[in-house]
Amino acid sequence: MRPHGTYTIELLGRIILVDAVGPFNDDAVKKYARDLSTFAEKLAPTPWALCAVFRNECLFTPDAEAELTAVTQWRKEMGMSVVAVVFKEVKERTILQAQMERVYKTTDLQYDFFNEKCDALSWLAQKGYAPVRTTHCKK
């Protein structure tokens, strides 16, 4: 099966910023895990944060959710300590948020949900993870 879903990954200091447009299948999550590992390995073993922005139809298939749970556990082992999730123009937000809560609760990570990326980055800064540049928060 071909990966379904697209994303970009960017490093902002000790924050990995992911901007994703779904929906996602398990092949997309596996590809994402491989791509994200390059960034996580650069930051490990010191703690780092993730800011994930979800757009469009970002629901995960059951297999993709299971894969994401495994990937999230690995990221925690690689130093991920806090996660900010942003829902931007997301369809079925309630379902997606429930999926993300299941994923993060299994790994006992600190996380929160936001409507705006700037609010998420501000929250991460309060947790000790300030982005290296603020061009992502234009007013």
pLDDT confidence of residue 136: 56
* Residue 134 included in any domain: no
* Residue 132 included in any domain: no
Of the two residues 73 and 3, the one the predictor is more confident about is 73
* Residue 136 included in any domain: no
* Residue 36 included in any domain: yes
pLDDT category of residue 2 using cuts at 50, 70 and 90: low
pLDDT category of residue 135 using cuts at 50, 70 and 90: low
* Residue 128 included in any domain: no
* Residue 23 included in any domain: yes
Asked if the model's pLDDT at residue 6 lies above 80, the reply is yes
> Measured over all CA atoms, what is the biggest interatomic distance in the chain, rounded to whole angstroms?
41
How many domains are contained in the chain?
A: 1
Instruction: Read off the pLDDT of each residue in 90-110 and give the average, rounded to a whole number.
Output: 89
* Residue 30 included in any domain: yes
| Digit-coded pLDDT (tens) for 25-53 | 778 778 888 898 899 999 988 999 999 99
pLDDT confidence of residue 76: 93
| CATH number, residue 56 | 3.30.750.24
Mean residue pLDDT across the chain: 86
Please state, in angstroms and rounded to a whole number, the distance separating the CA atoms of residues 9 and 16. Answer: 7
Q: Using omega within 30 degrees of 0 as the cis cutoff, is the peptide bond preceding 131 cis?
A: no
pLDDT confidence of residue 139: 44
Residue 103 belongs to domain spanning? 6-122
* Residue 135 included in any domain: no
Asked if the model's pLDDT at residue 87 lies above 90, the reply is yes
In the Cβ-directed half-sphere of 15, how many Cα atoms lie within 13 Å? 27
